[in-house]
Structures are given as structure tokens and as C-alpha cells.
Structure 1
């Protein structure tokens, strides 16, 4: 008996075992799971589509293929491969959306693929989009996909911008643009946010524009009440930060800042300068604040003047740089005085060249200290 025949004989046994072991988790099995064509379906999914056995058995609960009409799924596979889908992408797509194997190539898939390609999803971008969000193929071409692209092109200006936003957020093209995205965009522009900043926000952080209308209105008003006008460059960033948390979380983060002696006025002053400082977790905020104030002995006013200090990782940036500077100072190789604060903000390349590599020969192990593989006395 050849390998393929042996596999086909084993499949019913594997399937029975799979169903019996999963019965405790799934009280009621689909009638399809015991259909005569189930064995053929699993066989096809494994041998033709490349699915692992367990995955094929799972997919077969949602999809049954008829051996007499196998031409359609075969043509779908050929179509996908002709458009650059790797086997791993085909597997992922079928696992997410098994019904893809029943779609007509000429009547369904081909027109949608051609439309997406014509609008910028060329080369590997097409399989990446569809694999990450198969729902895009469930949208009707004339009544949904085309109007959606037309709207986004009118706002973003080009297909390239639509592609960029889609790469950052897979569901970008399948979200309800008409009832959620469009009203939110209109709200921001009506409030006075420059259109070019709205565009940048959509491309950089598409999920921000997916907010419920009432939540968007609340966030806009909250940021305005903090003293930031919609036309101000920082308004969009403050809005993004505000939308990343609910009111309860906002209040908890304010309390964290207050626990280190900050006044509400100082907190809001820092927030308006660098809104992302409050996007960090409470734990990260505490850790950064503790290190800056109690280890480095940085003045609170210095942090208020440069709130991005709070965004730096304590373990990956602040502590390694502080340890290196402390060693160099102890060996009288540098005089940093009040420059410590500035040296925490310089680029990685700048710091590495001027304060690590430059003194590596004079201070054995300095690079290891900087990388965190050797700890200094604290």
C-alpha cells in the first residue's frame, strides 16, 4: 500500500480519536463531523493544502468537500499560488477562513484581487493583507470595497497611504468606515484639527479613528479642557494618549505622579509638552520616576521640562548609561557635571561612540556594563 493510501486509511481513525478526546470540550458536535466526505476533506487539507493533521481535523468540522466537485477548491489553491501566496500563507488563510476553498475564482476572487492590485496591493503586499485579514474578501466589491477605497483616497490622498495604514492595522479596510470612521474624521476637522494632521494620525495609528462616537467626543473635549487647542501640534498626540486609556486609568496615573510630589498643574504642564508620558503603564511610570529622582537625583523640574525621560526604559537605557557615566567619572576620565540629563537623551550611536567605545580600552568590561551583562555596585 502506498503512503497516500495508508494515510487515507488512517485518517478515519485519527478523526475518531480527535473527536472523542475533544468531546468533553465540545458537548454537541456538528453533524458534518461524521459525514462520509469528512475523511476526504481531511485528506485534501493535509495533502493538497499543507495543513497539519490536527488543524485539518479542526477545519473539517467547519468545511466539507465533495470528492466529485474538487475542481473548485483546487482552482482556488492554484489561484492563490499564482498570486504569490506561500504555503504557510495558504495554510493560515484556510485555518482562518475555510470557506475560501468554496469561492468561485472567476466570479468572486479574481475581480477582488484585480481591484486590490490596481489600488496598490502588489507583490507580497496582497497575500500579506489577505492572510492577516481574510474578511477583506468577504466584502462585496461594488457596494463595499470600492466605496471604501474611494472614501479613504479622498481623505488620505493616495493608494500608498491606504496601503501604509493597512499594514499598520489589518482591519483597516473592513471596519465600518461609513458609520464610525467618517463621522470621527468630520468631528476632528470641524473642531479645527488641520486635515494633514488627521491624515498623519490615521496612517500612523489607524485604530485611534475607530473609536465610538461618544468616546471620541469625550476625548476631544477632555483634551480641550486641559488647555490644548485642536490647532496645536500636540493636540493629536494628546488625543491619542487620552484614547489609549479610560477615565479610571487616567486618574490612577495622575495619582502615581502625585505620589512622587507632582502637583496637578505640573502633571498637566508635562502632559501638554509630551502627552505620551501618561501612555506608559503605572509600573513603568513608578520605576522610571523612582530611578530618575532617587538614583540619578534628577530635579523634578528637569523632568517636567523634558517629560520624555519617563518614556525611556530604565533597564535598557537609563541604568546602563548612568552606570557607564558613573564609572567614567569615578576614574576621572570625564567631567559631566550637569550634563547627565542631556546624555540620557542623546542617540544610541552618539552615546556608544563617545562614552563606551572611546573608553573601552581604558576601562575593561565597560561595554559589558553598558549591555547589562556585568552589574556595577549600586
Structure 2
């Protein structure tokens, strides 16, 4: 099209060589000077030189996007984010995780999201945090995804937008799901079929938001599976069991069963562990094995003890099990107990209570060790 116009302009100027057509000259200047296309820039050079990105971040972005085709437009996008409160670290995180934002449309794609967040009552700092946690939020539709999903969250968590903001900061990916078609039907089904109160549901949404984004058909399958494992729907372990089942594939489930069997747990033992502490099965095979071996090696418990107190397997090895086992070992070796405490009594204590009961009275023996 441009070539066609140029030919006409040249022809026109030749026919009127004594008196060049001013309109033709103006159009010619407009085409070749005022609207000349920008030169693409290698994305790594662009981010480092013009926006002070670290080489590591720029390199990661360049593995996805090779060139910035319209540098001035991209400048506008990054400038808008900076003006909206995004510090350099936030900006790098956003572009690393969503490089496509460099070539998006500021007016049509990005600004409407910020207007929505502002209209719903989110603070600038809140928006910075949850967008940084999952910048793909900025590529979602305002009308079909973001708006309805935020309102769905608000209806579950209450009218306080601080509560909605708190969960989005931790799991911003919620807004990339259609919560009206996933979370809301799942909540309705769980409340009816499992006799859960709205208070319980709210607590679980805070704790495990991702679970509520599964397709309703999947949630029904998980409930059926937990039923078959023999856990009563009114038990406080029922929803934890759903959470555990949802976190792994059938193959992973089988691998964890094999780990327990290798440690000489019977099938009844394994089923009992699941019923008493389903979240044990969210641990990796390596952690299950390491924690079980540590407990059995102390001589303070056997497999039946672990089966009866499986919550011990959910405790941190370095921050809870090893330090406390070491303190008890020293105190027992010096015969400072009239009655030896059980691991099931000692390990659940907070650090403060453990210190007051087992360290402070014996500070000469274990104070430095603790």
C-alpha cells in the first residue's frame, strides 16, 4: 500500500514540476518521517540498558521473547507499572514470569485491570503484591474472569477486601481460574455432602485455595475415594484426606505405599496412618522414609507407635524432631526424669513450652545444647 501511494506522489510531482503539489509533499513527509517504524531491539539489551534489569532476569526473558518490536510502546507499559508502585524487583519478577506483557496493549489490556482493582477497593501495595505473585492476572479478561472471580472470593470470605487481598498475595493464581464455575460449585457440593459450615469452608479456602479450583467432577471423585478409604464425612480428617488425595497422581500414591511397605508397615498400618493423619501423604517419599527411620532409630518407638501417632511424621526433622530428641537423650542419660516422657507428648509442644518444661529446669545440663 505504501509503495502504491509513493508511486502516485512521484507521478503527481513530475506532472507539476513547476509547481509541486503541496498536499503530495505533506503526505510524503508524513509517511516517511512522522510515522517511520521503530527499529526492533534485542530484548536483553533493551531491558538492561533502558530499564536497569539484571543480566540474569533479562536473559530469562530473552529465552522467550527475542526482540522488542515497538520500544516506545513497551517503555509506556513499564513506566505505567513503575508509576503504579512496582519497584525494580517487582517489575523484574512480573516480566520474567509473563514476558508477553512487553508487547501487550497498555490501554486495552493492562489499564482496565488496574481500574478494576482500584474500583473494588484494593490498595496500590496490595495490587503490587498479588500481581507480582502471578502476573498472568494481567492477561485475564476483566469481564469474563477477573471481575466475577474476585466477587466470588468476596462472597466466600466476606465483605472485607483485606481478606481477599491476603489470599491473593499468597495464591494469585486464583484469578486465572473461573471461580464462578469451579470454586462456587465445589463449595456448594462440599457444604451439602460433607455437612460443613460456612466457617469451616472459609478456613479451608484460606488454607488450601488451590483445591477449590479443580473441576467439580474431580472434587466428586476425591470425595468418593476418601469414602472408600473409610473416613467418616463428619470427621475433621475428611477434608484433609481430600486435600491429600488431590495433591498426587495415582502413580505417586503407589510410590508412597511402596515406601511404607519397604519400612515394614502392613497394609492395615498404612490405611490407619492415612485415616489418622492424611497429610502425611502430601510429603515426598524421601521425607516419609527419613522421618520414619529417624523415629525408629531412637529406640523410643516402633512401627505401632508411629501408626498410633502418625502426626510425628509431619514435624520438621531439623527444627523439631532432632533438637528435642537430643535434649531428651541428654536428660535421660543423666537420670533426670522420674518418668520418661513420650514423643507424642514432647514433640507437639511449642518451643516456649518445651523450653520451660525440659530446658529451663535443667539449664546446666542442656541450656547450651538447646
TM range (shorter): 0.7 to 0.9
For the pair 1:199 / 2:202, whether they are aligned, the reply is yes
Secondary structure at 1:91 match in 2: helix
The equivalent of 2:113 in structure 1 is 112
1:193-213 deviations in Å (ceiling 9; x for gaps): 415233322221122223344
Q: CA–CA distance in 1 between the matches of 2:41 and 2:302?
A: 71
The equivalent of 1:150 in structure 2 is 151
Q: CA–CA distance in 1 between the matches of 2:43 and 2:300?
A: 67
Q: CA–CA distance in 1 between the matches of 2:274 and 2:48?
A: 55
Secondary structure at 2:51 match in 1: coil
TM-score, length-normalised on structure 2? 0.76
Task: Using the TM superposition, give the Cα deviation of residue 91 of structure 1 relative to its aligned residue in structure 2, in angstroms.
Answer: 2.9
The equivalent of 2:31 in structure 1 is none
The equivalent of 1:166 in structure 2 is 168
Q: CA–CA distance in 2 between the matches of 1:270 and 1:238?
A: 11
**More displaced 10-residue stretch of structure 1: 170-179 or 262-271:** 262-271
Whether the aligned pair in 2 keeps the contact of 1:288 and 1:314 (CA below 8 Å) is yes
Question: Using a 3 Å threshold, how does the CA distance of structure 1 residues 61 and 289 change in structure 2: closer, same or farther?
Answer: closer
Q: CA RMSD in A?
A: 3.2
Secondary structure at 1:296 match in 2: coil
Q: Give 5+ residue unaligned stretches, structure 1.
A: 1-34, 371-378
Task: Using the TM superposition, give the Cα deviation of residue 236 of structure 1 relative to its aligned residue in structure 2, in angstroms.
Answer: 0.9
**Alignment match of 1:210 (pick from 209, 213, 216):** 213
Question: Using a 3 Å threshold, how does the CA distance of structure 1 residues 80 and 317 change in structure 2: closer, same or farther?
Answer: same
For the pair 1:282 / 2:285, whether they are aligned, the reply is yes
Secondary structure at 2:232 match in 1: coil
The equivalent of 1:38 in structure 2 is 40
For the pair 1:187 / 2:192, whether they are aligned, the reply is no
For the pair 1:343 / 2:346, whether they are aligned, the reply is yes
The equivalent of 2:300 in structure 1 is 297
Whether the aligned pair in 2 keeps the contact of 1:303 and 1:309 (CA below 8 Å) is yes
Question: Using a 3 Å threshold, how does the CA distance of structure 1 residues 157 and 48 change in structure 2: closer, same or farther?
Answer: same
The equivalent of 2:276 in structure 1 is 273
For the pair 1:264 / 2:273, whether they are aligned, the reply is no
Task: Using the TM superposition, give the Cα deviation of residue 186 of structure 1 relative to its aligned residue in structure 2, in angstroms.
Answer: 3.8
Q: CA–CA distance in 1 between the matches of 2:300 and 2:47?
A: 63
The equivalent of 1:50 in structure 2 is 52
Q: How many residues align?
A: 329
Question: Using a 3 Å threshold, how does the CA distance of structure 1 residues 323 and 48 change in structure 2: closer, same or farther?
Answer: same
Question: Using a 3 Å threshold, how does the CA distance of structure 1 residues 164 and 231 change in structure 2: closer, same or farther?
Answer: farther
The equivalent of 2:29 in structure 1 is none
Larger Rg: 2
Secondary structure at 2:66 match in 1: coil
1:119-145 deviations in Å (ceiling 9; x for gaps): 353142211222232221222322332
